[in-house]
Chain A
Amino acid sequence: MPQSTQVVVIGAGPGGYAAAFYAADLGMQVALVDPDVNPGGVCLYRGCIPSKALLHVADVLNEARHAEAWGVTFGAPKIDIEKLRAFKTKVVNQLTGGLGQLSKQRKITYIQGTAGFRDPRTLEITREGQSQPETLTFEHAIIATGSRPSTLPGVTLQSPRLMDSTSALEVPDVPGSLLVVGGGYIGLELGTVYAALGTKVTVVEMTDGLLPGADRDLVNVLARRIESMSEAVLLKTKVVAMKEAKNGIAVTFEGEGLPADAPKERTFDRVLVSVGRRPNSAVPGLDRTRVKVTARGFIEVDPARRTAEPSIYAIGDVVGEPMLAHKASHEGRVAVESIAGERVAFEPLAIPAVVFTDPELAWCGLTETDARKQKREVTVTRFPWAASGRALTLDRTDGMTKLVLDPKTERVLGVGIVGPGAGELIAEGVLAVEMGANATDVRMTIHPHPTLSETIMESAEVFFGQATHVYRPRKKA
């Protein structure tokens, strides 16, 4: 380990490794510290990537079932859980190993261990398997320590049956029944996986709807599907107690969303708690620097992602919502450019959010809900997938594409999509918002036929009352 470095990045998730790689590409001397054997962080080891591998399996299972409607019948699926896990592990190892290679090729010093601050220019790093910390002085540090799953307040139960997203991704077995606590994207994605594998899934959500924050018209499409795949979706319901029972976890519910005839206490083979994530801002020795942490535990940064301590930057989940890998990577690049002396700011117009359920739900930029909250006048155009040839060929006509537009300038302010492949489609929406594209630009861009991407073009045509596949003339003024 060197004694000093120009840049040290603490945490090698998608924010941290992107920052470290970029800094190295700009010719800086870089060290990257992380407890895992290779870069990757939660995203690659315990988040985005393994969950998507499992969701792909879920998609195939669902499609195979769906195929009955087209005259193709498969037998009941046989699931080899070891092999399934091995597939997931292979994906994770291949990606993280690849990052390890990329890190070496860039001559980055990768240190497997944990770091704390001795002072604003020195880290104490304890390598994996060592007890004595070594010191590393730096010119700039980037804190990219990410976040961890929140636990359910008031619940102290310790049980292997009680899972968080990390343990659920290990797929210990296919439980007969699973309670998903929290109707956010993590709970719904993992619920989808387990439901496809054959588990009876129940979802409990404290608020009055799934995926708080997303537009309701989009969520409704997804909610119908979630309801049909699961045993029950309990909204406005809380888990007030959990205890170990003979064959599972006995859960006590409370709330107005609970049907009157439903028992207040039910037993589940497993319980998945997915009630959000908390920032990992308790970096040891942070109090020896001027870095400030908010009441909610986020590290405070300026638009260039610099903390109150000029030598220290922070990026990703640890600096605030939305806690998304792609936001962290972008912030990482901003921080590195700032360190390189450029005048930069993290100022995206749109950060896409994708829920990889079936159907997928994705949005970016201004939502209709936010526009209403801000009392901003917008025109919302919708294109139902029932009018899309491609959606019909997939036998999936429940999707919808919508644009949130400025009525005067026609500018695209936000895009929302629900339907299979929404996560891929939303990228065009992000580009439109970032480029300041207007409805004419979008409608005049030729989209390939027959694809789902045409729904974006046709949503723009709806603005003019001239969508080819929908007859909805514009109201006369």
Chain B
Amino acid sequence: MPTDFTLPELGENVTAGDVVRVLVNPGDSVAKDQPVLELETDKATIEVPSSVAGTVKDVRVKQGERIKVGQVVLTVDDGGTAVPPKGGAAKAAADEGAKPKPQPAGAATEGGLSQKAPGQGEAAASSGGAKRAKEDAGQGLADQPEAQQAESVAESKPRRGEVVDISRGARATPAPAASAETVDQGPAAPAAPSVRRLARELGVDIRRVPGSGPGGRISNEDVQAFVRGALAGGGAPATIPPGSLPDFTKWGEVERKPMSNIRRKTAEHLSSAWNQIPHVTQHDKADITSVEELRKKYASQAEKAGGKLTMTAIALKIAATALQRFPQFNASADVARNEIIYRKYVHVGVAADTPRGLLVPVIRDVDRKGIIELAVELANVSEKARAGKLSLDEMQGGGFTITNLGGIGGTSFTPIVNWPDVAILGISRAAFEPVYDGKSFQPRLMLPLSLSYDHRVIDGADGARFLRWIADAFEQPFVLSL
């Protein structure tokens, strides 16, 4: 009996994702919990395990496609009788035929070629056309030949941990629509040309604007009200019209690349945080000469445990204790209700620089863990982050963030608070500096610290106290146990 496998709930607030690749083909047998799909959501690439077992009859999604929770991914025949793959393929083709975007027969799912814009429909229709479409897709696919990709899908053994940048190929620059054909695609919004132009200038999709006129006709005022609403709405970042860009090609060659999901999300999240939070950044320096000696001393112990005793691991522990002393730093502002929410737990995010962009894995219950234990956990999540294997859960729930750029350099910086947190600690590179001890200058290893905080929740004096407490803890670790 054929059973549909639908995209399950993937985590809080996750409703959809882009298919990075499909790991099974019609005719393959799948076991329960076998990964069948790699999905890129807003923050993580996830392998989606099957909840059903049997023979794949039909794959209903394709690479590059954005799919929603609840959408049918596969049809699986669990009767145990082998389904002739041909039948499955034919059915898939028939299904596709009914959909607006036909998939070239036999072209399977590689490279999202079938996603080439509607204007190129004629190219995709024939096999010769498929070749042409491939050429059109150009360098984007050059590093992963069509055949090879198809093969890797057929083997259903994806190289684990490899992240395919789906912004290439699948989401390649949409080819321009042929022309006026776009005009009669779907019902057009009931708005006069001048109103449609205003919406375009303001960066508003006219189809999203509710019209107040008869029959839902959209007026200038409706568009303006929509923009005002979006701006006041807070949460969802408004589509504030960016200034129009100059033509960069006037001065030389340029290349346009689509933003990855992570880049887009980072941009949205940080713009929103920057817009909402009145930021203050406080700088200080901690003398870590003796801590550094201790760190070296215990480094091998951490290594044995499978971790690396870094300054970040030590900072984690210090920050956790500081957060217990200063609960307003482990809080969030609920502006709508005029309340401040204090967390009774200490989960701390650590910004990680990965090939795919900025990710912030969260270490839980930092207050209840020893430094060695934290070092091990930190090494683990960093590795996962770099491999693109972090689950969404592992990136949620933090109340404070540490970002350490010391490994790269710099004397100080102004980190942006990771909303809904209210503070973030930035660490720069430690350096020996002459410090006057009352008699003479001594060479001391000084660690620059930069604390950005939400001035709505935290006052300047508290900010200075909190950061000074952290600096003291670096200098005299015994305060941790006071």
Contacts and interface: CB of A to CB of B under 8 A. Distances in A.
Interface of A: 139, 292, 294-296, 298, 300-303, 306-308, 310-311, 319-322, 327, 341-349, 351, 366, 370, 374, 376, 406, 408-411, 434-436, 438, 440-441
Given A311-B249, A348-B183, A409-B215, A436 B190 contact: yes
A376 to B, nearest CB: 8
A411 B190 contact: yes
Contacts of B187: 376
Given A346-B179, A436-B215, 13 more contacts: A295-B122, A301-B176, A320-B180, A343-B201, A348-B180, A349-B183, A349-B188, A366-B184, A374-B184, A376-B187, A411-B217, A436-B213, A438-B215
Interface in B368-419: none
Contacts of B246: 341
A438 B187 CA distance: 15
Contacts of A376: 187
- The 4 A-B pairs with the shortest beta carbon distances in the complex, nearest first, are A320-B179, A409-B215, A436-B190, A302-B176
A465 to B, nearest CB: 19
Nearest to A295: B122
Contacts of A409: 190, 214-216
Contacts of A298: 178-179
Contact of B196 (A292, A301, A347): A347
A454 to B, nearest CB: 23
10 contacts: A295-B123, A298-B179, A300-B176, A302-B177, A320-B180, A347-B183, A406-B215, A409-B190, A436-B189, A436-B215
A327 B180 contact: yes
A301 B122 contact: no
A15 to B, nearest CB: 12
Contact of B178 (A294, A348, A351): A294
Contacts of B215: 406, 408-411, 436, 438
A311 B123 CA distance: 25
Given A343-B201, A366-B184, A300 B119 contact: yes
Interface residues of B, number: 40
B200 A345 contact: yes
Contacts of B182: 303, 347
A434 B217 CA distance: 11
Contact of B192 (A294, A319, A434, A440): A434
B200 A320 contact: no
B181 to A, nearest CB: 7
Contact of B197 (A294, A303, A344): A344
Interface string B95-113: 0000000000000000000
The prevalent SS among residues of A at the interface is loop
Nearest to A440: B214
Contacts of B203: 343
B193 interface: yes
A438 B211 CA distance: 14
A26 B120 CA distance: 34
Contacts of A322: 180
A344 B364 CA distance: 50
A343 B178 CA distance: 19
A139 B250 contact: yes
A341 B244 CA distance: 7
B363 interface: no
A438 B188 CA distance: 14
A436 B244 contact: no
B192 A320 contact: no
A394 B331 CA distance: 83
A310 B247 contact: yes
A347 B123 CA distance: 24
B56 interface: no
A320 B181 contact: yes
B175 interface: yes
B175 A300 contact: yes
A351 B183 contact: yes
A294 B122 contact: yes
Nearest to A311: B249
B24 interface: no
Contacts of A349: 183, 188
Interface in B67-89: none
Given A296-B122, A344-B197, A438-B215, A308 B250 contact: no
Nearest to B122: A295
A349 to B, nearest CB: 5
A202 to B, nearest CB: 33
B218 interface: yes
Nearest to A365: B184
B191 interface: yes
A343 B239 CA distance: 14
Contact of A303 (B176, B188, B191, B217): B176
Nearest to A373: B184
Contacts of A300: 119, 175-176, 178
Nearest to B125: A295
Nearest to A438: B215
A361 B187 CA distance: 25
A126 B74 CA distance: 61
B122 A438 contact: no
Contacts of B191: 436
A212 to B, nearest CB: 17
A438 B183 contact: no
Nearest to A308: B176
B244 A306 contact: no
Given A302-B176, A370-B184, A436-B218, A343 B200 contact: yes
Contacts of B189: 436
A434 B190 CA distance: 8
Which of A295, A370, A376 neighbours the largest number of chain B CB atoms within 10 Å of its CB?
Answer: A295
Nearest to A366: B184
Contacts of B119: 294, 300
Contacts of B196: 347
Contact of B180 (A306, A310, A321, A406): A321
Contact of B244 (A295, A303, A307, A343): A343
Contacts of B200: 343-345
A207 B250 CA distance: 50
A319 B250 contact: no
Interface in B232-285: 241, 244, 246-247, 249-250
Contacts of B218: 436
A348 B185 CA distance: 12
A351 B182 CA distance: 12
Contacts of A296: 122
Interface string B111-140: 000000001101100000100000010000
Nearest to B246: A341
A307 B178 contact: no
A306 B176 contact: yes
Contacts of B129: 295
B176 A307 contact: yes
A400 B190 CA distance: 26
Contacts of B241: 343
Contacts of A406: 215
Interface string B443-462: 00000000000000000000
A438 B214 contact: yes
Contacts of B188: 347, 349
Nearest to A346: B180
B85 to A, nearest CB: 32
Nearest to A351: B180
B223 to A, nearest CB: 13
Contacts of B214: 409-410, 438, 440-441
B50 to A, nearest CB: 36
